[in-house]
């Protein structure tokens, strides 16, 4: 699995702490982690939580990432932004129990964490525990186990509803403010990571065309 980490500007100073906790759990699982920043509060490329959604959608819909870890101060804005795009199912995860139940019941491909709320001493441990529970078992296995069949059925129904509700991603990008979209891809390491891992197709071509 390839995991992308995205931080918006209000919590950019915590990128290193989050990346370390995520990397520790990912390494034990044999997962790869790509850090898309922001890397510090004073980065030249500033991401808003809305742009987290623009960026995450490009990564997931192009195959550049299989899972996105992101968030903001409360986690709510980032969660809403990511869920505004096709191909993204983002859960709001405050603690390890949220992480486990979201993975087992909803089987999404992104989480938004409240990096400012209820986080002081021990935040690095809380993050480690969240990531451990997120990938403790095969996603979509159900919880509690007697609810597996209806939960998996409901997930398929949800996938069908979302497929009917959304337009193609590139069409959405074209209707947004070009500077908003281009700014989401302005991180210093974005192009190298995206070119290396995105699969050939319309999303990759459009994003790289914007940058050119």
Up-side HSE of residue 125: CA atoms within 13 Å toward CB? 3
Please tell me the total count of domains within the chain: 1
Expressed as residue numbers, the domain containing 43 is: 2-211
Quick check: 5 and 64 in contact, CB under 8 A?
A: no
User: Do β-strands 110-114 and 67-72 pair in parallel, antiparallel, or remain unpaired?
Assistant: parallel
Predicted TM-score of the model (pTM): 0.96
pLDDT 10s digits, 119-177: 888 899 999 999 999 999 999 999 998 999 999 999 999 999 999 999 999 999 999 99
Please name every residue paired with 68 in a beta bridge, in sequence order, or none if there are none. 4, 110
* 181 CB-near residues (< 8 Å, 6+ apart): 54, 173, 210
Q: Which two tokens stand for residue 24?
A: 């520790």
Quick check: 25 and 135 in contact, CB under 8 A?
A: yes
Listed residue (171, 185, 202, 165) closest to 54, CA to CA: 185
Q: Which two tokens stand for residue 139?
A: 């996603």
CATH number at residue 182: 3.40.1400.10
pLDDT 10s digits, 33-68: 999 999 999 999 999 999 999 999 999 999 999 999
Q: Which two tokens stand for residue 105?
A: 């019941």
């Amino acid at each position: 699995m390839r995991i992308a980490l995205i931080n918006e500007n209000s919590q950019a100073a915590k990128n290193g702490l989050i990346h370390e906790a995520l990397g520790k759990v990912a390494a034990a699982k044999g997962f790869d982690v790509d850090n898309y920043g922001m890397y510090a509060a004073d980065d030249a490329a500033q991401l808003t939580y809305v742009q987290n959604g623009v960026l995450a959608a490009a990564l997931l819909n192009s195959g550049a990432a299989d899972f996105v870890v992101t968030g903001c101060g409360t986690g709510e804005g980032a969660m809403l932004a990511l869920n505004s795009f096709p191909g993204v199912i983002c859960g709001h995860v405050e603690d390890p129990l949220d992480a486990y139940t979201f993975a087992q019941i909803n089987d999404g491909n992104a989480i938004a964490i409240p990096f400012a709320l209820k986080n002081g001493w021990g935040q690095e441990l809380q993050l480690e525990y969240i990531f451990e529970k997120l990938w403790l078992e095969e996603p979509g296995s159900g919880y509690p186990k007697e609810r597996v069949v209806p939960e998996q059925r409901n997930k398929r129904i949800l996938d069908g509803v979302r497929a009917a509700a959304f337009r193609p991603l590139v069409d959405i990008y074209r209707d947004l403010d070009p500077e908003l979209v281009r700014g989401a891809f302005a991180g210093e390491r974005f192009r190298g990571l995206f070119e290396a891992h995105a699969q050939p197709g319309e999303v990759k071509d459009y994003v790289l065309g914007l940058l050119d």
